[in-house]
Amino acid sequence: EAGVAQSPRYKIIEKRQSVAFWCNPISGHATLYWYQQILGQGPKLLIQFQNNGVVDDSQLPKDRFSAERLKGVDSTLKIQPAKLEDSAVYLCASSLSSGLLNEQYFGPGTRLTVT
Amino acid sequence: ELKVEQNPLFLSMQEGKNYTIYCNYSTTSDRLYWYRQDPGKSLESLFVLLSNGAVKQEGRLMASLDTKARLSTLHITAAVHDLSATYFCAVENSGNTPLVFGKGTRLSVIA
């Protein structure tokens, strides 16, 4: 079974530029999450999708971050314009969302450096 | 608001020694996860603990969950260098909700 795929793996941009990340979850997984992991900290949720609908985006900085999951499969996360403090690893995770166990599987992440 | 605290945040231990990492959380939950993260890598699932008194073991690692005390432990037995990594606990409020992570414990096993 293929895991969660993300691209690009690394991205370096200047502040005020735009950037987009892509995530392809495990086939059949209805729930998709985007987490932000700043160096030395645990991941923090940005947004959760159930199929193509947003379940929780309370911690997404909506003035600069946006995300979509058209057709309920792949997802993109965009930052426009980027700030220095956006430097982090952006992790995508997916889960099956059925039954007692709802284990989340994480992708390799996209490491963003804003200069 | 659910908060998760881990301690210690940094741990340097000698090979062959035993040690325990603690994870406390602030609100009722019966779903707790332990992950391992190597430098520059993503999160690898180690254990899923779903009920009070749950205990799981894999090799030199053993995890337990006490939901009444809101405490989970990750016990390391006879540490080896390969266990050097950052270990995160994460708690889920209820089914199909985002994980809230602790800050992680950076473990370094030295000869």
State whether A107 and B42 contact (CB < 8 Å).
yes
B21 and chain A in contact, CB less than 8 A: no
The residues spanned by each domain of chain B are 4-110
Q: Which of B40, B96, B103 sits opposite A42 (nearest CB)?
A: B103
Which chain B residues touch A48 with a CB distance below 8 Å? 97-98
CA angle B107, B109, B111 (to 5 degrees): 165
Q: How far is the alpha carbon of A45 from chain B, nearest alpha carbon, in Å?
A: 7
- pLDDT value, residue B69: 92
Pick the CATH number of A5-96 from 2.60.40.10, 3.40.630.180, 1.10.10.10, 3.20.20.140: 2.60.40.10
State whether B43 and A106 contact (CB < 8 Å).
yes
In this model, does residue B50 exceed pLDDT 70? yes
In this prediction, what percent of chain B has a pLDDT beyond 90?
76
Residue A100's pLDDT band (boundaries 50, 70, 90)?
A: low
The residues spanned by each domain of chain A are 5-96
Q: What is the pLDDT of residues A24-76, one digit of tens each?
A: 999 999 999 999 999 989 999 999 999 889 999 999 999 999 999 988 899 99
Q: What is the pLDDT of residues B30-47, one digit of tens each?
A: 789 999 999 888 899 999
Q: Taking the domain B4-110, which CATH number applies?
A: 2.60.40.10
Mutate to test the interface with A, among B38, B89, B96 (most CBs of A within 10 A): B96
